[in-house]
Structure 1
Amino acid sequence: MGNALARVNGQLYEVLGPLGEGGFAHVYEVKRDGRHFALKWTRGVTEGEDLERLLLEIQVQRQLQHPNVLPLEAAEVRRCQESNVHIHVEKEALMVFPLAGRGSLQTALEQAACRGSAVFTEAQCLHFFAKLVDAVAALHELGYAHRDLKPGNILLSDGDPVEPLLMDFGSVAPVRMQLKGRKLWEDAARYSSAPYRAPELWDTSVGGDTVNVVDGRTDVWSLGCVLYAMAFGPYSPFEHPRDGVQQLGIINGYVNFPHGNMHLGQVFSATFTALIRWILTPDVAERPKLEGVCLCIDQLLHPAPRKQPSRRLSVRKHRLSAAEVTKPTREPSMGETDWADFSAFQEAHSMSSELSFSMAVRSRSTSLVSKLPLASRSSSTRMLSVKQTSASSIVGGATSSDGSRNRGLSDPNRRRALSRTGKQLWVSALEAQISK
């Protein structure tokens, strides 16, 4: 007896076996005319929002033509043969995709972790990530956000070098949405994987400030989690078995990196980890947009050459060095803490014609005061003043006078401080790289 057959748009596919399942959908390996495909079969779809979402998924797949998006070969939505007409009409959807033999990024990361070896070097990681960001940008240009970006929804191409293939658009939503009531949070809880879900997609309305509009930066956050998993995974930095602890970590933007930025034998640069910190900014207003992430990746892959100081600057630095030799030393007084000498960062270095950063350290306190131009594609560049922020807020979250930890989004000032710290770390790391 032969294998079962599935009919899609009049074409017969031989069902070879199951590949996976999730929710109401099952995925099978099928074959037609000697070619192998993946068949996503969704059953039990009723009229209403579920059917509309399914039709939107098919529409987006057909419109989104990009080399790093898994293409849709065929699709059909029809009434289930076994549905009871007298109660309600159920439909089923069949979607046919090319079969990616290498599987998902999540599987590759987990297998590499078991072997004790890394999947990517830093350069390979950035090249792969740049392709993924470009695919997400193409989706945003259509007016939609993915809302469930994670390694499990990224397949690996069969080519060399390996490239990402973005898939599963069942969670797509308008890229820009007004927050009305609780529906956005409820949809996010249903369709967005918690460890990769942006802070603004969590219900933080009790006792905190409220985000009125969400945009493409929800996907930027998820991309930051994916980048972390690629380098230091195999999971998101916010993977935790307890929901309350997980949500608290997300809304505080707490990210922990291994000692020396080394994982499975691979060492990652300070600029690389600083970019992740900036992307994983709790305050959506301070989080970089997708265009800014693209420019940062380009800067990491193609760093600007070191700027040679002018003769006048060299003479001035020589005089300053001579003065330091004769300058009496003293022990730091109580209350002072160690600080980094950022004097080398006082010259601005251009990332591109559209993105430039500058930083000036004004005091030897426990705070850093800086001014940073935001990335922009417009002719003018907006400036934000970065307020003083305690160095302790970089890594663990602020602690109140009674020893309790603040809730993150319930403390707007702390959230903004964390956000600007992420941006500040990126600038510092970038300037250090250029000045080497």
Structure 2
Amino acid sequence: MPALDALPSKIGPYRLLDKIGEGGMGVVYLARDAESRPVAVKILGPAVAADPNARRRLLREVETMRRVRSRYVAEILDADVTGDAPYIVTRYVPGRTLEDVVRTDGPLRGQALDRLAGGLAEAIAAIHAAGVVHRDLKPGNVMLVDGQPVVIDFGIAHVPDSTRLTQTGMVMGTPGYLAPEVIEGQASSGASDVHSWGATVAFAATGRQPYGSGTFQTIFFRVLQGKAELTGVPAALLPLVVAALATEPRARPPARWLADRCAELPLGGGLPASVGPNGTRLSTASVGAPLVNGLNGSRLRAARAGAAPFVPAPAPVFRGP
């Protein structure tokens, strides 16, 4: 098989126009179909294409994406996973990644941030409703189109009842957006995606990596200790982000609950009068001050102030093999 850069101008019925992304599993091209409509074509790299496990992973990606239906998720349109250059075709999502927008233009504010948080929660809820775990939600895998988020790249997504294809001990994902249990070697779950939602929304709101920078080991330690820096997250979103970033998976709320709460966010940016999934009211007293010392310090301050802590109901957990 020729190198990706030497591929002909077409693959199958698709005319390749421009390279728009590259990752561990291959290259993504902007292309046009037989009717000249723009699409995104993801082609496996030569080394990966020769690996039977990688082909199985691509087939699983195709099956995964076909089970997900949401305006906030780039759906699959076509695929060929048996040829010399296996590929999948998805809806082309024009726009910029959340990572690029925040790095270039600064943190999201007001309604733009609310739309981002709510749309991402809806995307995860749809993914989980299909029995799928994304496993790599992060700012670079979120496109912003007319202010609305669209989740892309299911390159390492998996169906919980499918055969595990990663090597033993191999961590797949992005350090600052991995949940504690994944770092510890446990199976990814819907709750792991919720943790990634919290970290992604925190980045969008503050412009900072919530667990800072440094080596993998340094970042992993902060994640495991629950030491997220959330100063600057608006008061309305803060209790949701804090809940999503709980170190214990079963302490995180379901994505569907997060989406419903985001839909209640007031236009003025104040804290909505809302109720936690176990009936506990969300109180401004418990989240009124920014988090300066991380999640644990915030909870201590809330307890001393006499405010009831936010204790969500257990999130559903998808168990992989």
TM-score (normalised: structure 2): 0.76
Aligned partners of 1:49 and 1:395: how far apart in 2? 43
- The partner residue of 1:248 within 207, 212, 221 is 221
State the SS of the aligned residue for 2:71: coil
Q: Which residue of 1 aligns with 2:3?
A: none
Q: Could you say if the C-alpha distance between residues 242 and 43 of structure 1 is closer, same or farther in structure 2, counting changes exceeding 3 Å? A: closer
Q: Could you say if the C-alpha distance between residues 55 and 214 of structure 1 is closer, same or farther in structure 2, counting changes exceeding 3 Å? A: closer
**2:187 is equivalent to residue 198 of structure 1:** no
Aligned partners of 1:239 and 1:430: how far apart in 2? 26
Aligned partners of 1:52 and 1:301: how far apart in 2? 45
The structure with the larger Rg is 1
Q: Which residue of 2 aligns with 1:15?
A: 16
Q: Which runs of 5+ in 2 are unaligned?
A: 1-6, 311-321
State the SS of the aligned residue for 2:45: strand
Alignment of 1:227-242 (within 5 A): 227-233=201-207, 235-242=208-215
Note the C-alpha offset of 1:126.
1.6
Q: Could you say if the C-alpha distance between residues 356 and 424 of structure 1 is closer, same or farther in structure 2, counting changes exceeding 3 Å? A: farther
**2:74 is equivalent to residue 100 of structure 1:** no
Q: Could you say if the C-alpha distance between residues 226 and 185 of structure 1 is closer, same or farther in structure 2, counting changes exceeding 3 Å? A: farther
Counting strand residues as a fraction of each chain, which structure ranks higher? 1
Note the C-alpha offset of 1:136.
1.1
Q: Which residue of 2 aligns with 1:40?
A: 42
Counterpart AA for 1:223 = W
Counterpart AA for 2:251 = E
> What is the total number of aligned residue pairs between the two structures?
291
Q: Please say if residues 227 and 276 of structure 1, whose CA atoms lie closer than 8 Å, have aligned partners that are also in contact.
A: yes
**2:293 is equivalent to residue 395 of structure 1:** yes
Note the C-alpha offset of 1:148.
0.2
- The partner residue of 2:124 within 119, 132, 136 is 136
Aligned partners of 1:79 and 1:93: how far apart in 2? 5
Q: Could you say if the C-alpha distance between residues 300 and 229 of structure 1 is closer, same or farther in structure 2, counting changes exceeding 3 Å? A: same
Counterpart AA for 1:20 = G
Note the C-alpha offset of 1:220.
0.4
Q: Please say if residues 281 and 419 of structure 1, whose CA atoms lie closer than 8 Å, have aligned partners that are also in contact.
A: no
Q: Which runs of 5+ in 1 are unaligned?
A: 81-91, 205-210, 262-267, 307-348, 361-367, 371-392, 398-416, 432-436
Q: Could you say if the C-alpha distance between residues 256 and 43 of structure 1 is closer, same or farther in structure 2, counting changes exceeding 3 Å? A: closer
Aligned partners of 2:9 and 2:302: how far apart in 1? 54
Q: Which residue of 2 aligns with 1:152?
A: 140
**2:110 is equivalent to residue 122 of structure 1:** yes
Q: Which residue of 1 aligns with 2:280?
A: 357
State the SS of the aligned residue for 1:227: helix
Counterpart AA for 2:229 = N
Q: Please say if residues 6 and 14 of structure 1, whose CA atoms lie closer than 8 Å, have aligned partners that are also in contact.
A: yes
Note the C-alpha offset of 1:227.
0.3
TM-score (normalised: structure 1): 0.58
- The partner residue of 1:222 within 192, 196, 215 is 196
- The partner residue of 1:167 within 152, 172, 183 is 152
The ranges of structure 1 where at least 4 consecutive aligned residues each deviate by more than 6 angstroms after the TM superposition are: 417-420, 422-425
Aligned partners of 1:125 and 1:28: how far apart in 2? 29
Counterpart AA for 1:242 = T
Q: Which has the higher contact order (CA 8 A, sep 6+)?
A: 2
- The partner residue of 2:10 within 6, 25, 44 is 6
Q: Which residue of 1 aligns with 2:54?
A: 50
Q: Alignment RMSD, CA only? A: 3.8
Q: Could you say if the C-alpha distance between residues 302 and 121 of structure 1 is closer, same or farther in structure 2, counting changes exceeding 3 Å? A: closer
Q: Please say if residues 176 and 209 of structure 2, whose CA atoms lie closer than 8 Å, have aligned partners that are also in contact.
A: yes
Alignment of 1:247-396 (within 5 A): 247-258=220-231, 261=232, 269-301=234-266, 351=275, 356-358=279-281, 395=293
Q: Could you say if the C-alpha distance between residues 355 and 124 of structure 1 is closer, same or farther in structure 2, counting changes exceeding 3 Å? A: farther
